[in-house]
A and B are shown apart, each in its own frame.
Chain A
Amino acid sequence: MNARDWTAVTKVGDIPLREGRAVTVGGAEIAIFRLEDRYLTIENKCPHKGGPLCDGIVSGATVVCPLHGRRFDLETGMPVRASEPSGVATFATRVEDGIIFVNMSGYKSREVAAT
């Protein structure tokens, strides 16, 4: 994995504890969440009705969509309730010198990922 896959996104202080923030990177809208000891990044758009996941309430390492309450695992992007059909993409995230980097190398648009 080469260094160019990692994009410097923002300063750590920009995301309050247990909240998420949306950023558009290279055409992808992602939501970065700050947990107690780490940052996790998923696709911002809820596959149900497109709700902004960055605005959801965080519960442990999951987030709840503010529109209709779908819940996603922030580590895997999978829906927490097995009955719900689809999950969201996840992106590797790391912090260096107070800057949050997200690895966008695996990103493909939803249409492509679905195939």
Chain B
Amino acid sequence: MKQQLVVVGNGMAGVSCVEQILKQPHSFDITIFGDETHVNYNRILLSLVLAGEKSAEEIVINDIAWYQTNGIRARLGVKIAAIDREKRVVIDEDGGATEYDKLILATGSSAFIPQIPGVDKKNVHFFRTLDDTRALLDKARPGLKAAVIGGGLLGLEAARGLQMRGCEVTVVHLMETLMERQLDATGGDYLKRKIESLGIRVMLPQQTAALFGNGRVDGLRFASGEELEADLVVIAAGIRPNAELGRKAGLKVGRGIVVNDYMETSDPHIFAVGECTEHRGQTFGLIAPLFEQGRVLASTLTGKRGPVFGGTSPAAKLKIMGVDIFSAGSIDESGLGVETVRYEDPSLGIYKKLLLKDNQLLGMILVGDIEDEPIYMDWLRSGTDLTPHRRQILFPPRDADPGRAVADMPDSETICGCNGVRKGDIIRAIHAHGITTLAGLKERTRASTSCGTCTGLCEKLLRAVTPDFQDETRTTLCSCVPFSYEQLRDMIRGQKLKSVEEVLNIYGNRKGCEVCKPALSYLLDMVWCGEHEEDRSARFINDRVHANIQKDGTFSVVPRMRGGVTTPDELRRIADVADKYNVPMVKVTGSQRIDLLGIKKADLPQVWADLGMPSGQAYTKGVRMVKTCVGSDFCRFGVQDSTRAGIELERRLENLFTPHKFKMGVVGCPRNCAEATVKDLGLVGQDGSWQVVVGGAAGKSVRKADLLITVETTEQAMQASDLFFQYYRENANYLERSYDFVERLGIEKIRKETVYAPEAEKRKLLDRLARSKALAKDAWLEGRTPVSPTQFVQIQPMEVQPAK
């Protein structure tokens, strides 16, 4: 005869406990009651639903099929009103009774409703459930003034979510600093600056005395008498355990339903798990201990009575991309014998504080740099004697045994809290799909794609599990936006950032500099295939006026001559321009072009018009030229038509931007007269085939290009060129020449991901190239339609002053 197991609560704690029970031999007939009408979803991710990064469907953990397959009766939208402990039945609001042998209370917690007059007004919301989130989504729209009461984790995540929907958000917090339960005053200040740099206003300390408005909320009145206008108010002032059901049933209840180390309540047939519980005087609000409780309770119920729940030290991570905040353990430094070790760098926004006692780690606050969190957590949990590490404690060496931290974790441990990806899921995915890179892992498992805080752990797992792990070099762009190129690409894509200003305001120091601004301009152009908001102020002067600045402030003009082939007519126009503008020097360049040096900025548009030729892009990080030899038409050795192929190649790629300048060469035979093997991309003609070579150089560095592939037709050579070109555009760091790029990645990897990639992947690269190309145009057209009235014009003062 099966025992009746009834679970009151269909949230993460209750259902994860049921999942643990299902993994073990048991004889339960399981019924789950949920007062929400939804299947079990990942409540932690509601902020991402609010921000529009995930849909409601994407955060479902157990779909309806899971309940059916496991023979679980799901009673959704049914609220349990009472427990009759004598008869061992639970009674729902409609009076229906359900018998139980064992009862799990997993009723969770509710938003704390502060005693503020006006909380019942329209447009005052809480942020706790999927329905709350949907209600907020209904209201949120660009320009709406939103106030969030509460500057804790949830409040800040709600604020960011609303802001991502275009609302003008103010966070109002009762205390002197944000997240004061997890951070000290210094950490709170750093956080405040970060939050403000996202464009969210923060008001501290500010006690809300009332919400005013006629039926609908119009704003907040503070105890200070000040007011804040608001069309929408979200209250995130903490949570309270839902212990009422237990209290009414006569169970021992403090702030929550009291449980012992086995998750047993004061009634031997009733158990409790999750945020409704109180264990050794502690209540819970973060996910990790709840999973742990579920595991313990599953053991208790299936008759093992062990392991026990020993409580956990609190750990909190803020899930806002670009705002790295982690806090764990005790942050109270007033205790006897507690020492603190601190590091801070205001301009990088980094603050680290470790609390130690008797050479053991007690707690930590990490702001702006949380990479060492796994090591610190390991020290915290294990009580490691830190005497040998004291000198490097703020920057613990990372390579000692990178596999150690992940080897210690059980397979069921969640690595990516945002996406609910466990260690076991990642290892299975690595083996099943042969994943070797972080990017591959992200694509397959979605781990580390939301807040990014588990990136380090994912990398460690990859390194530990994959025999041929490929490290992605992480170079920080610059101290204005201290992120790697890969992170910046993800941020631009993920957060849909379209301008340099947005990136700098949200993730940077709001200023930017001559290093990061052009780099961000490039990244935006590349990620959005030209559909970004071009900001000329973020670009070097050459890209503002499409000419190369010279030492005296004049410019050089190099018209495009595709393949180095010109006509008498073009040469005459060039000669006429040189005469008309008294060009001090006319020079044939190493790239088979003609350079007119010493042109004044104001003359540029007219010079271009007189030339009647397109821009040769000789001034920018972009496609420079294709140098060609005479080829089969005239040369007695030529076996391929290099001039025609060179002109074609140049037409395909001209006017596009690249991480660094990009030079090409096409030769009609292996004599290599146009030096194709020392170009970023070269085509070397052979009898009946083309060699496509990449990563060559003959500048500051000299490097012979690597063979990418040999193909039979010119069309195939063009496609291989396009593939490498776009791959370089998307994956190289800004200012990384192709020869460094090819050495960094290795030609084998590049081949695999370009010419030997699956057709679908090739198609994607080519499609993105085509999108960019469709929007790329000859920059010199701006001579006729300038982007600002004074792009080229020399301003003349409105009043004339005599020279002194």
Q: B-contacting residues of A (Cβ < 8 Å)?
A: 7-10, 13-19, 21-28, 49-52, 55-60, 64, 66-67, 69, 99, 104, 107-109
Contacts and interface: CB of A to CB of B under 8 A. Distances in A.
B799 interface: yes
B619 to A, nearest CB: 12
Nearest to B541: A55
A57 B521 CA distance: 13
Given A26-B803, A26-B804, A55-B544, A60 B790 contact: no
A51 to B, nearest CB: 7
Given A26-B803, A55-B544, A64-B514, A17 B537 contact: yes
A23 B793 CA distance: 10
A21 B537 contact: no
Given A21-B790, A25-B801, A59 B552 contact: no
A58 B538 CA distance: 8
Given A51-B553, A66-B540, A67-B549, A23 B796 contact: yes
Interface string B598-627: 000000000000000000000000000000
Contact of B798 (A28, A60, A66, A99): A99
Given A49-B551, A52-B553, A57-B537, A23 B797 contact: yes
Contact of B549 (A19, A55, A99): A55
A50 B553 contact: yes
Interface string B301-318: 000000000000000000
A25 B797 CA distance: 6
19 contacts: A7-B799, A14-B789, A21-B795, A22-B794, A25-B801, A26-B804, A51-B553, A55-B553, A56-B541, A57-B537, A57-B539, A58-B537, A59-B480, A59-B512, A60-B510, A64-B513, A64-B514, A66-B549, A99-B798
A13 B789 CA distance: 8
Contacts of B511: 59-60
Contacts of A49: 551
A67 B540 contact: no
Contact of B537 (A14, A16, A28, A51): A16
B788 interface: yes
B797 A10 contact: yes
Contact of A7 (B480, B536, B788, B797): B797
Contact of B514 (A22, A24, A69): A69
B503 to A, nearest CB: 14
A64 B512 CA distance: 11
Contacts of A25: 797, 801
B517 interface: yes
A28 B541 CA distance: 22
Contact of B513 (A27, A57, A109): A57
Contacts, number: 93
B789 A18 contact: no
5 closest A-B pairs (Cβ-Cβ)?
A: A27-B803, A26-B801, A18-B537, A60-B511, A55-B541
Given A18-B535, A55-B549, A60-B510, 19 more contacts: A9-B798, A10-B797, A16-B537, A18-B538, A19-B788, A21-B790, A21-B795, A22-B794, A23-B797, A26-B802, A27-B804, A56-B514, A57-B513, A57-B537, A57-B538, A59-B512, A59-B513, A66-B540, A107-B804
Main secondary structure of the interface of B (DSSP, over half): loop
Nearest to A10: B795
A109 B551 contact: no
A58 B510 CA distance: 12
Contacts of B540: 57, 66
Contacts of A64: 513-514
B553 A14 contact: no
Nearest to B796: A23
Interface string B762-804: 0000000000000000000000000111100011111101111
A58 B552 CA distance: 20
A104 B804 CA distance: 10
Contacts of B803: 26-27
Interface in B487-523: 510-514, 517-518
Nearest to A65: B514
Contacts of A15: 790
Select the residue from B787, B797, B802 with max chain A CB neighbours within 10 A.
B797
B700 to A, nearest CB: 18
Nearest to A45: B553
Contacts of A22: 794-795
A4 to B, nearest CB: 9
A56 B511 CA distance: 14
A37 to B, nearest CB: 13
Nearest to B500: A18
Contacts of B804: 26-28, 107-109
A104 B790 contact: no
Contacts of B517: 57, 59
B790 A14 contact: yes
B369 to A, nearest CB: 23
Contacts of A16: 536-537, 787-788, 790
Contacts of A66: 540-541, 549
Nearest to B537: A18
